[in-house]
A and B are shown apart, each in its own frame.
Chain A
């Protein structure tokens, strides 16, 4: 399913992506998320949260034992993915409902192209992993 880009989300917005154990790697002395952190095998849509007042704290409350990646919106778009708001699609999230978004391809793409775009996000130097608190 194609993700419809929401242009009201500025390019300098920062998105948080919660990481499963196993979705991180050390490459070239750099600790980063793996491609699979940005892939969904069924819908092609991956949940993220736009940083805003209290959002990181709420995400950490929901996922206390998980690492969190940060990705600027321009990196996501520049890699060929779109960002779409999905308020109300994240049960248990008590922060600003508008902070919940999904990212994914805005067009029909092959698996290979989809993975290539996800990898671009994962390896981008502006994609980081937040220090644990």
Chain B
């Protein structure tokens, strides 16, 4: 069983079915992007060697989070943690390298990828279902940004990020 499923706090997962054909997991979860429960394709840790490390990083950030006057409040809500874990295991991210996981003030979490000066950043805000994204060029110009409404859109954003290297 992957470490992602060992977390006792991942309460959003309601049912897990192991697919015999491809050994991936189908997870019926509470809505991540949308408004109703849905079937999401998620990856196992074998598909993204960085996943276990990223989840461990999340746990460390949660444990270290505190309110620091003059700097920010880095206490991360369990709901934000759940959403970050779930986001990390979504299939489109399997094609990317290890993200850097950084907190931001107010209990938010940012996942960032940088290669050859090109950035892709996903920001998870507390107490909201919104995930924002920004993709920037080598020249530090924002090529696209916005709110991700559904997983398919995340897949397209990842596609565009990867195709920028070709």
Chain A residues packing against B (C-beta within 8 Å): 18, 20, 22-23, 25, 27-28, 34-37, 39-44, 46-47, 49, 59, 62-63, 66, 89-93, 100, 110-112, 115-116, 119, 123
B-chain residues with CB within 8 Å of residue A112 when the two chains form the complex: 132, 145-147
B-chain residues with CB within 8 Å of residue A49 when the two chains form the complex: 70
Chain B residues packing against A (C-beta within 8 Å): 69-74, 100, 102-108, 110, 114, 117, 119, 121, 123, 125-127, 130, 132, 134, 138-140, 142, 145-147
- Report the nearest A residue to B76, measured CB to CB: A41
Bound together, the chains give a CA A123 to CA B103 distance in angstroms of 19
Lowest 6 CB-CB distances: which A-B pairs, in order? A41-B108, A41-B106, A42-B106, A22-B102, A40-B106, A36-B104
A40–B72 contact, CB under 8 A? yes
A20–B103 contact, CB under 8 A? yes
A41–B107 contact, CB under 8 A? yes
A111–B106 contact, CB under 8 A? no
A47–B71 contact, CB under 8 A? yes
B102–A111 contact, CB under 8 A? no
Task: Give 21 CB contacts A-B under 8 Å.
Answer: A18-B70, A20-B74, A20-B103, A22-B103, A25-B114, A28-B139, A36-B102, A36-B108, A36-B110, A40-B73, A42-B108, A47-B69, A63-B70, A63-B71, A66-B71, A92-B69, A112-B145, A115-B123, A115-B134, A115-B145, A119-B134
